[in-house]
Amino acid sequence: MNLRHGQLWQRLGLAVLSGILVASLAPATAAAPTGGQDMHGDMESADLDTSSSDSGVSAPDTAQDRSASDGADASDVDESADSADEATASSEEESTDGVDAQVYTFPGTDGPTRIHVLTTTGSADAILLESRGVFAMIDGAEGVGAPDGKDPRYPLREGVVNAALGDTDWVLGYMSNHGVTSSNLAFYLGTHAHSDHIDNADEIIKKFRPKVILSPEYSDEWITDKSRLWDNQWIYDNMMTAARWAQSAYGASIVQNIKDYNTHITLGDMDVQIIPTDPAENYKKTGVRDANLIAYTAKVSAFGHSAYLAADLEAGGGYEDRIAPIVGHVDMLKAGHHGLPTSNSSAFMKALSPSMIAQTGPEWYIPDNLTESVIHGDSSWVPLVDLWSSGHIPSLIATFGPSGISYNDLSYASWGHEYGLENPRAWWFKGGRPAATTGWWKGSSGSWYYFAGKPSAEASTWVYDGGQWYWMDATGAMASSELVDTGKGLYYLDSAGHPSGNGWMQIKGKWYYLHDGRAHNGWLYDGGSWYWLDGRAGVMATGWTSVQGSWYYMRSSGAMVTGWLDGGGTWYYLRASGAMATGWLYDNGSWYYFGSEGMMALGWFSDGSAVYYAAPSGAMATGWLYSNGSWYYLGSSGARATGWVLDRGTWYYLSYDGRMVTGRNYIDGRFSVFTDSGAWVGYTF
């Protein structure tokens, strides 16, 4: 069963029970760890110096001007053994319906209840919890150092973060400057064995001595995709070496086998519920492709409000679908996997419906569904990398109280973001919400966008700026080096986005004629020839082209043809207008006939009820014609004759199909005799 915050507070009044651990959170002198590999950080000294200053920490981008203060004292915190921040921790384990439940309580004394999501280099998780003067740390970002390949257990692999990079000093300094000491760090939670989460775990454990250390067990053997091993085993072993040292040195508890969702930690006014991604630990039997799927996440509740810290929870394999009902609605979400598209599915976001989304990565990581509720609803969204780069804001700080959750001043931070499916794609944000702005912005895709006093970029419109016109397409991106249809004309935009070009221009293998960048369409007379530029696309036509019901032929140069055209053995005639001739045409003393498709007739052809004959030249024949073994007579009109024909004083008779008759033939009820030449001789009986 799930042990709620109120139930945990009831347990604070319990006396020491069998199996209950009660521990003081006072600092102790610790011996260096023994056994296992060398620690990731400096653990050469048997005594940990907890009084040294952390004020010289650098920002994630190595800048030295970063302030770690949000109103808290940025000076070093006294970490002496008699610190006033001491607290009492108790642990209770019980079985409910056969399911193990674990409860740890750190009541604290006085102070605010906050979640600090730290800005780190690139994308990494480092989250500080505080309530009533006691603290907890979840993950700790990328550390400094990496395997050198000398130990065969930790070979050098592609993709491992450079050993010189990391946030060790920054994270430790932030913790110190916000009041964390070696006596008040209640627990450390390492969500999973990736360096951008737990690389600093050993340093945190060494310096601040958490009383409970939680992390799922890990082995490279459980990872099926061997390209995803990186330095996982190395950083995990570093963390566990430090944890075992802490266990031996000052009695820290190590929790690694959480079999359900019943592990709760009371941290002052906070209830921290530990939620494993796979409580059945199936990965130990079947393996998983990535350490992200071997993880602990956390739901933090206080004063009737809640946050879910999703680590690198993935949507694939049904993980988000399984976790969503356990978490339910929350006010704040630390987005899974730094906001990447592999997490934060639409269904997951709908189930949690957070009003604040913290993303430990840059804005351009995200899929549309992560922030759909931001531009179409009332949610806020804070990509931590952009929070720092635009506003030098060290962290997102959520303060819980009876009236709700308030956040530190984010108003100095602003950023642009490109969506994949939204139109327009570019939006501007300030302080976590869409905000009006004016001016140009270049997105991660390389596209330029223009804002004109709105949160969304201008789209499908002209923008006039600096004496120049620019066309913003349907996505809002500035068009360049292309021909665009604005709805009121075709324009060519040069590489700077300006309408440009006069005269002929070849664009992507097609020819256009431009006037100050605008593509001409329709008929164009240039250099003594006519050209047709497609009335819509503006493309110069070649070959046969239909214009307003007439056909024209344009040479490969685009010039319109007139007169005779040899179409590969078929002749056409283009009139003076360029229109293809059909029907009868008189040219140079002869008549020609062209069918409905413009092809010149040859041999016998019909026009209406009359039959004609075209010579091999196409010219219409008249007079006597010998064809296929028979004589025919074509009148002055060219029409083939039938019946009696008087030619030069001699009568001839042409049958129904126009063939001249010879010999004795029965015609008009009488027999007539014709010579071999067809001449009529007379009647016979």
Rounded to whole angstroms, the Cα distance separating 614 from 622 reads 9
Cis ω before 424 (30° cut-off from 0): yes
Sequence-ordered list of residues with C-beta below 8 angstroms from that of 677, at least 6 positions apart, any chain: 662
Tell me the pairing of strands 356-359 and 380-383.
parallel
Question: Alpha-carbon torsion 403, 406, 411, 416, what sign?
Answer: negative
Structural Rg of the chain based on CA atoms = 44
Sequence-ordered list of residues with C-beta below 8 angstroms from that of 537, at least 6 positions apart, any chain: 490, 521
Rounded to whole angstroms, the Cα distance separating 560 from 581 reads 14
Half-sphere exposure of 586 (CA within 13 A, CB side): 3
Q: Are 538 and 517 in contact (CB under 8 A)?
A: no
Q: Are 512 and 483 in contact (CB under 8 A)?
A: yes
Sequence-ordered list of residues with C-beta below 8 angstroms from that of 523, at least 6 positions apart, any chain: 530, 531, 532, 533, 547
Q: Are 189 and 139 in contact (CB under 8 A)?
A: yes
pLDDT value for 88: 52
DSSP string of 288-299, one letter each residue = BS-GGGS-EEEE
Give the residue among 354, 356, 360, 277 at the shortest CA–CA distance from 320. Answer: 277
Torsion of CA 207, 211, 215, 217, to 10 degrees: 100
Other C-beta atoms lying within 10 Å of the C-beta of residue 317: 14
Give the residue among 125, 308, 137, 311 at the shortest CA–CA distance from 211. Answer: 137
Interhelix angle for 201-208 vs 168-177, to 10°? 30
Sequence-ordered list of residues with C-beta below 8 angstroms from that of 388, at least 6 positions apart, any chain: 59, 60, 61, 66, 119, 394, 413
Tell me the pairing of strands 404-407 and 414-418.
unpaired
Rounded to whole angstroms, the Cα distance separating 651 from 665 reads 14
Other C-beta atoms lying within 10 Å of the C-beta of residue 594: 19
Residue 49: burial class (beta carbons within 10 Å; 0-12, 13-18, 19+): exposed
Distances (CA, A) of 462 to 472, 478, 513, 600: 6, 10, 21, 51
Q: Determine the residue type at 135.
A: F
Predicted structure pTM score: 0.76
* C-alpha 634 chain-centroid distance: 77
pLDDT value for 38: 31
Rounded to whole angstroms, the Cα distance separating 86 from 95 reads 30
pLDDT value for 86: 57
Which residues are 3's β-sheet partners?
Answer: none
Angle at 679 between CA 674 and CA 680, to 5 degrees: 55
Which residues are 100's β-sheet partners?
Answer: 95
Q: Determine the residue type at 158.
A: E
Which residues are 407's β-sheet partners?
Answer: 398
Which H, E and C letters describe 87-108, residue by residue? CEEEEEEEEECCEEEEEEEECC
DSSP string of 337-376, one letter each residue = GGG-TTS--HHHHHHH--SEEEESS-GGG--GGGSHHHHS
Spans of the chain below 70 pLDDT? 1-101
Sequence-ordered list of residues with C-beta below 8 angstroms from that of 306, at least 6 positions apart, any chain: 299, 300, 329, 330, 331, 332
Q: Which residue reads 């065969």 in tokens?
A: 152
What distance, in Å, lies between the first and last C-alpha atoms of the chain?
Answer: 128
Burial profile 190-199: b = 16 or more Cβ within 10 angstroms, e = fewer:
bbbbbbbbbb
Tell me the pairing of strands 305-309 and 332-334.
parallel
Rounded to whole angstroms, the Cα distance separating 167 from 404 reads 31
User: What tokens does 312 get?
Assistant: 């690198």
Give the residue among 220, 193, 296, 204 at the shortest CA–CA distance from 252. Answer: 204
* C-alpha 321 chain-centroid distance: 22
The backbone torsions φ and ψ at residue 441, rounded to the nearest 5 degrees and listed phi first, read: -145, 135
Tell me the pairing of strands 590-594 and 583-587.
antiparallel
Q: Determine the residue type at 274.
A: I
